[in-house]
Amino acid sequence: MYKIVKKVSLASNIYLMEIEASRVAKSCQPGQFIIVKMDEKGERIPLTICDYQREAGIVTIVFQTLGSSTKRLAEYKEGEYISDFSGPLGCPSELVKESFEELRKKNVLFVAGGVGTAPVYPQLKLLKERGIEADCIIGARNKDLIIFEEEMKKVSKNVYVTTDDGTYGLKGNVNDCIKDLVQNHGKHYDLVIAIGPIVMMKYVSILTKELGIRTIVSMNPVMVDGTGMCGACRLTVGNDVKFACVDGPEFDGHMVDFDESIIRQQMYKTAEGRALLKEQEGTAHKSKNCGCSDK
Amino acid sequence: MDILKKVPVREQEPKIRATNFDEVCIGYNIEEAKEEASRCLKCKNAKCREGCPVSIDIPGFIKEVEAGNIEKASNIISLYSALPAVCGRVCPQESQCEEKCIRGIKGEAVSIGKLERFVADWAREHGIKPEMPIYKNGKKIAVIGSGPAGLTCAGELARMGYDVTVFEALHKAGGVLVYGIPEFRLPKNSVVKTEIDNIKALGVKIETNVIIGKSVTIDELIEVEGFEAVFIGSGAGLPKFMGIPGENANGVFSANEYLTRNNLMKAFDESYDTPIYKGKKVAVVGGGNVAMDAARTALRLGAQVYIIYRRSEEELPARVEEVHHAQEEGIIFKLLTNPTEILVDDKGWVRGIKCIEMELGEPDQSGRRKPVEKQNSEFEIELDVVIMSLGTSPNPLISSTTQSLDVNRWKCIITDEITGMTSKEGVFAGGDAVTGAATVILAMGAGKTAAKGIDKYLKMKEN
Ligand SMILES: Cc1cc2nc3c(=O)[nH]c(=O)nc-3n(C[C@H](O)[C@H](O)[C@H](O)COP(=O)(O)OP(=O)(O)OC[C@H]3O[C@@H](n4cnc5c(N)ncnc54)[C@H](O)[C@@H]3O)c2cc1C
Ligand SMILES: Cc1cc2nc3c(=O)[nH]c(=O)nc-3n(C[C@H](O)[C@H](O)[C@H](O)COP(=O)(O)OP(=O)(O)OC[C@H]3O[C@@H](n4cnc5c(N)ncnc54)[C@H](O)[C@@H]3O)c2cc1C
Ligand code: SF4
Ligand code: SF4
Ligand code: FES
């Protein structure tokens, strides 16, 4: 059993939980994820690790309520227990593996969309701890859905906020902001790390390919075990089929077959989950044949 | 009673069982068991024991069954096997103990598996539990994986007095016994859970949700956590795909995914959260035990089911009993057929499968006649789900995170056959992780061998 030591509501439908899980806290790295299972009848839900306190044995997760499982998780209160919390799973972020010298030479831009802002945080924090500051764009549909802004400001060089409806920060989507920074403000980036809704990551990757900036995305396909045993999480990267849970979840955004992944993500998503995601993605959601309105 | 024939075992009617997940085989009652036991010749030089990878004293326990001393029979079996209710159900007896049975020379072999199962079920129903070992030597051993190999190794070591912790990546112990083999062949709560509880009763600790290689490495277990030896029983869980067009479409699953959703996550039970896309017309590609299990699961979820296999019935690698049960239940066998493409609709979902007919040519390395394509024999079947059951290989997660652990080119861990030790001192391995996908009883045998190897190694180190 794993104790929920803290629960905070960050925005409408977005929750933060701190969970007591000493083995995970001891070994996890930015970029990795965990799987929670609430009780006997619950699903195995993959969630990215958003922060960790090694000494205290605590891991932070941030999740959005989409369908029945995430809604059920949101009903858990501080002090209560969940039955399973396994991890860390997946490979650490590329940044963890790179040498300090290499990293310092790079201008990195993080692009965070919606609930994806939370998993960007530990990566920025890691860089900051090594004395490196990077820029960060946070995009959301409206002001109410912007999370982690204060935390991000503490660990980034510049934080740019965009909202689709212009209720806060720049009006537009994250791509408008990237273009603006590169084309009008003379910014130069060597690496973009984009984490957010899959449709956002797709369009960011299309743009950065045009701009010639290497791009890493964090994929979130349907998963079951998270250990390489079921193949539910497979996706096409270049000419290869990869299992996101063991080979990823981070991949080269210019190599990922996003359209296939978008279709595959629909496999088990409930109608309510799809509707919410579509709303979340706002203007980033341009895809005509992602299948979100049928099946 | 016809002495040449087995006492028939009661089963659920095919029509009825095709609609439920209850166990197909009902098993013997005590009268039937005694009658079947009386067929055994109690041979002095019992050939049957040679066929059993853990050499259970078969005439010994059968004698007790015949005399009605079922508790005694149970005690005899438990000297050799910690999972008799499982083995009695899923061992390929026809090619192991029963194949060697003297009775089988003229007539049918003694139903050793069904008798073993009867004894184990009786013991469970009568609350008989193994005793906790009194002697403890305080030495800590880590066992990775809670499948039959890991559980057996852990149980054996605990009996010898070791302090054993099993680390399991999933949330439930049992390995393939809980995530792969379906409820209708191996009931989870009654049979598997009880046998695991019996192993826990020996003092074995099981820590779930720990992925060795991610949560903690083998090197850390030894250097930081003070484990004096490690046994790797991590199985062969990595599924293969064919690499044909359309394989990533919605509605194509590995058998592991389909079975895990249904067995481990209990998708067939509405009250559990995990969904499964059941399909109305389903094809399972492959001909092994796993393929039969996936097909019979899909059937029970309400689908019309095909098995597509590229060789003929004779070469089907699945157990005869399983093929027979599948046929009885109405699964359609498309033999000498190989898929060439999965057909996908404009929304990305499976709509069918394109296949080609095969014929058997010259024998290949395995001695089986190699299937070759028949020219211009392509045809299509309309479907909404395709389940790939093409075999599995060991997961490289452990070998890639453990220093100086040698594997062969199929990523199987290399071990010494006699001791079970790997290339890394103090680290042992066994089961599917070493052999590639095999059987429950072979995995148990390997777990036992390694337990002896570990004991010997630690005693030698002491001196
Ligand atoms: C590696 C990884 C990291 C993730 N990190 C986070 C995170 O930090 N915060 C967060 O809010 N969400 C994260 N997700 C997505 C999260 O797992 C899903 O939102 C959740 O499973 C939805 O379940 P539901 O039953 O509430 O929704 P429903 O819409 O009812 O979903 C039903 C089914 O669809 C699948 N599914 C639905 N949405 C997704 C999705 N976006 N990704 C993958 N599968 C989905 C699930 O398998 C589930 O069985 C991550 C996913 C992955 C794979
Ligand atoms: C569907 C199906 C049907 C079968 N039917 C039969 C049958 O009828 N008869 C028969 O004899 N055999 C059958 N088999 C084969 C048999 O189940 C296997 O040979 C046997 O289970 C192998 O045992 P094992 O202990 O080596 O591995 P497994 O049973 O695979 O157990 C390995 C365990 O290790 C865990 N693990 C893996 N990696 C890690 C890690 N890094 N850290 C922690 N834990 C880890 C896994 O989660 C798993 O629980 C079947 C197999 C399948 C899939
Ligand atoms: S364990 Fe398997 S092989 Fe051995 S006697 Fe029992 S059924 Fe036969
Ligand atoms: S070989 Fe057959 S008849 Fe002889 S002891 Fe074994 S089970 Fe009995
Ligand atoms: S989630 Fe099962 S293989 Fe990745």
pLDDT in tens, A98-136: 777 788 888 899 999 888 888 898 899 888 888 888 899
State residue B262's pLDDT score.
94
B233 in Cβ contact with B427 (< 8 Å): no
Lowest mean pLDDT among A162-171, A203-212, B14-23, B452-461: A162-171
Confidence of residue A278 (pLDDT cuts 50, 70, 90): low
State residue A282's pLDDT score.
54
Show residues of chain B in contact with A89, CB under 8 Å: 211, 214
Q: What is the mean pLDDT of residues B252-281?
A: 92
Q: What is the mean pLDDT of residues B290-306?
A: 95
Higher pLDDT, A114 or A235: A235
Chain B: residue whose CA lies nearest to A247: B397
Task: Please name the residues in contact with B357: beta carbons below 8 A apart, sequence gap of 6 or more.
Answer: B336, B337, B373, B374, B377, B379
What is the token pair recorded at A288? 């005509």
Buried-exposed string A220-239: b where 16+ CB fall within 10 A, e elsewhere: bbbbbbbbbbbbbbbbbbee
Residue A292: is its pLDDT beyond 90?
no
pTM of the entire predicted model: 0.92
Residue A54: is its pLDDT beyond 60?
yes
Q: Give the closest residue to B308 by CA, choosing from B292, B288, B286.
A: B286
User: B110 C-alpha to center of ligand 4: Å?
Assistant: 7
Please report which ligand is nearest the Cα atom of B96: 3
User: B114 C-alpha to center of ligand 3: Å?
Assistant: 10
The domains found in chain A, sorted by start residue, are 2-89 (2.40.30.10), 99-218 (3.40.50.80), 221-287 (no CATH)
Q: Is B261 on the interface with A (CB under 8 A)?
A: yes
- Does B395 sit within 8 Å of A229, measured CB to CB? yes
Q: Is B44 on the interface with A (CB under 8 A)?
A: no
Per-residue pLDDT reduced to its tens digit, B84-101: 999 999 998 988 999 999
Per-residue pLDDT reduced to its tens digit, B324-363: 999 999 999 999 999 999 999 998 999 999 999 999 888 8
Per-residue pLDDT reduced to its tens digit, B220-261: 999 999 999 999 999 998 999 999 999 999 999 999 999 999
State residue A279's pLDDT score.
66
Lowest mean pLDDT among A15-19, A150-154, A276-280, A281-285: A281-285
Average pLDDT value for chain B: 92
State residue B360's pLDDT score.
87
- Does B248 sit within 8 Å of A227, measured CB to CB? no
Name the DSSP letter for residue B252.
E
Give residues 124 to 183 of B whose Cβ lies within 8 Å of A: 169-171, 179
Confidence of residue A289 (pLDDT cuts 50, 70, 90): very low
Ligand 3: residue whose CA is nearest its atom 7: B113
- Does A236 sit within 8 Å of B395, measured CB to CB? no
State how far Cα B308 lies from the chain centre: 22
Q: Reduced to 3 states, what is the DSSP secondary structure of residue B189?
A: helix
Confidence of residue A149 (pLDDT cuts 50, 70, 90): confident
Please report which ligand is nearest the Cα atom of B116: 3
Ligand 4: residue whose CA is nearest its atom 1: B101
Show residues of chain A in contact with B209, CB under 8 Å: 84-87
Which residues approach ligand 5 with their CB closer than 6 A?
A: A 223-226, 228-233, 243, 245
Please report which ligand is nearest the Cα atom of A15: 1
User: A194 C-alpha to center of ligand 5: Å?
Assistant: 22
Alpha helices per DSSP H over B234-300: 255-262, 289-300
B17 φ/ψ angles, rounded to the nearest 5 degrees: -70, -20
Per-residue pLDDT reduced to its tens digit, B130-180: 777 778 888 999 999 999 999 999 999 999 999 999 999 999 999 999 999
Please count the helices (runs of H) and the strands (runs of E) in chain B: 17, 16
- Does A224 sit within 8 Å of B238, measured CB to CB? no
Show residues of chain A in contact with B277, CB under 8 Å: 267-268
Residue B375: is its pLDDT beyond 70?
yes
A33 φ/ψ angles, rounded to the nearest 5 degrees: -135, 175
Sort strands B140-144 and B332-334 into parallel, antiparallel or unpaired.
unpaired
Task: Tell me how far apart the alpha carbons of residues A84 and A73 are, in angstroms, rounded to a whole number.
Answer: 12
Show residues of chain B in contact with A84, CB under 8 Å: 171, 208-209
The percentage of chain B sitting over the pLDDT mark of 90, rounded to a whole number, equals 76
Q: What is the number of other CB atoms lying within 10 angstroms of the CB of residue A84?
A: 21
- Does B214 sit within 8 Å of A85, measured CB to CB? no
State residue B209's pLDDT score.
96
Residues of A with CB under 8 A from a CB of B: 23-24, 26-27, 32, 37, 41-44, 68-69, 72, 83-89, 224-225, 227-232, 234-236, 241, 246, 260, 263-264, 266-268, 289, 291, 294-295
- Does A41 sit within 8 Å of B271, measured CB to CB? yes
Task: Tell me how far apart the alpha carbons of residues B57 and A45 are, in angstroms, rounded to a whole number.
Answer: 46
Chain A: residue whose CA lies nearest to B246: A260
Task: Please name the residues in contact with B123: beta carbons below 8 A apart, sequence gap of 6 or more.
Answer: B70, B71, B74
- Does A236 sit within 8 Å of B265, measured CB to CB? no
